[in-house]
C-alpha cells in the first residue's frame, strides 16, 4: 500500500493467520494500520485458485479483528486470477486435495458441506465491519471474477477481462458470485454473461455497475490507495452502519428499508451520546 495512506493512531491491526496456511493457499497478507491487503501470489499460474486458496482466505476472514476497516484484494503479476486451477479436473488432481472426480462421488449432503466451506473464503468480504475493495487487472475468470464480486467495491485496470466460464466446464458459479452479479447487472444480463462465458472489458464493467471506475494499468495502485484513503477518512462507525443499511436494501420493501434506516441512525445517535458523555435517560 502507499506510504501516505492514513493509519490508525498507534499500531497495525493484528491478523493472526498461520503462515503455512497462507503459503499453501499462495496468499500474501500485509497489514498497514487499519488496512489489510490480501494478495494472490501465484503469478506464474496467473493466480489460479485451489481449495487451499479458499481455506486461507477463510482463515483471514475468521482472524480479522475489529480494528481492520478496509480489506484490499489484489493479484500479483499480469492477472488478478485466472480462476480455478484446472488440475482439479485431472486424474492426478492437486496433492492433498480431492479432485473433482472424487467430489462428484460424494453424497449430496457431503458435497453441500464441502462447497459451503469453499464459500467461506469469499463471504466474509461482505462483513459489515469492513469495506472490501478488489483491485483487478488483466484476467479475472470464474473463481477470480467471483472473488472480485465478493468485494464491496471494484477498481479495474483498463486491460481487465472479466468472464464467468463455469458453464464451459459443466459447472455453475458457486463461490458466492451470483447474487452480487445479479444485483449489479440484473438477472437477464447476468444469465447471458454466465451462460455465454463472454469477456467483459473495463468500459462495460463500469457502465454496468460491476466496477466503480477504470484507470490505466499503471494508475491502478494509486486509484485504490485514493479510495482507501477516502474510506478511512470517514467516521468508522458511520461507514459500518451505512454498509449495514445498504446491504439487502434492494430486497426489502420501502417500509422495511425505512425501518432499517431508522435503526441504523439510532445506533449513530447512541454513539454520539457516548462521545458527548451525555448518555440518554
Give catalytic residue positions: 166
Strand order through the sheet with 213-215: 27-32, 35-40, 70-75, 131-136, 153-157, 213-215
245-270: buried (b, 16+ CB within 10 Å) or exposed (e) per residue? Answer: beeeeeeeeeeebeebeeebeeeeee
Q: How far apart are the C-alpha atoms of 52 and 237, rounded to whole Å?
A: 33
Dig out the grid coordinates for 87 from the structure.
488440475
Distance CA 113, CA 51 (A): 13
Q: Phi-psi bin for 214: left (phi > 0), alpha (psi -120 to 50), beta?
A: beta
Please report the DSSP string for 101-134 in residue order. HHHTTS-HHHHHHHHHHHHHHHHGGG-TT-EEEE
Task: State the DSSP code for 87.
Answer: G
- Rounded (10°) angle between helices 187-196 and 178-185: 120
Q: What is the DSSP letter of 159?
A: T
Contact yes or no for 26/38 (Cβ under 8 A): no
Amino acid at each position: 500500500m502507499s506510504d501516505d495512506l492514513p493509519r490508525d493512531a498507534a499500531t497495525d491491526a493484528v491478523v493472526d493467520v498461520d503462515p503455512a496456511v497462507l503459503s499453501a493457499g499462495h496468499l500474501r497478507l500485509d497489514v498497514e494500520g487499519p488496512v489489510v491487503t490480501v494478495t494472490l501470489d501465484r503469478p506464474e499460474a496467473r493466480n489460479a485458485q485451489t481449495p487451499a486458496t479458499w481455506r486461507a482466505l477463510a482463515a483471514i476472514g475468521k482472524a480479522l479483528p475489529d480494528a481492520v476497516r478496509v480489506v484490499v484484494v489484489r493479484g500479483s503479476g499480469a492477472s488478478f486470477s485466472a480462476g480455478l486451477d484446472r488440475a482439479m479436473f485431472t486424474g492426478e488432481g492437486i496433492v492433498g486435495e480431492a479432485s473433482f472426480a472424487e467430489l462428484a462421488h460424494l453424497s449430496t449432503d457431503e458435497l453441500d458441506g464441502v462447497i459451503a466451506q469453499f464459500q467461506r473464503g469469499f463471504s466474509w468480504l461482505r462483513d459489515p465491519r469492513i469495506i472490501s475493495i478488489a483491485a483487478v487487472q488483466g484476467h479475472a475468470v470464474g473463481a477470480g471474477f467471483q472473488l472480485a464480486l465478493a468485494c464491496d467495491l471494484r477498481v479495474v485496470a483498463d486491460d481487465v477481462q472479466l468472464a464467468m466460464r463455469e458453464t464451459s466446464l459443466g459447472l455453475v458459479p458457486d463461490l458466492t458470485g451470483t447474487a452480487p452479479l445479479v444485483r449489479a447487472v440484473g438477472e437477464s444480463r447476468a444469465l447471458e454473461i454466465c451462460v455465454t462465458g463472454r469477456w467483459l472489458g473495463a468500459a462495460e464493467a463500469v457502465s454496468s455497475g460491476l466496477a466503480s471506475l477504470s484507470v490505466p494499468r499503471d494508475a491502478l495502485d494509486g486509484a485504490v490507495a485514493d479510495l482507501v484513503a477516502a474510506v478511512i477518512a470517514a467516521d468508522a462507525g458511520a461507514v459500518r452502519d451505512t454498509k449495514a443499511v445498504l446491504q439487502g436494501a434492494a430486497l426489502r420493501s420501502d417500509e422495511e428499508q425505512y425501518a432499517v434506516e431508522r435503526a441504523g441512525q439510532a445506533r449513530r445517535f447512541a454513539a454520539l451520546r457516548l462521545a458527548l458523555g451525555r448518555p440518554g435517560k
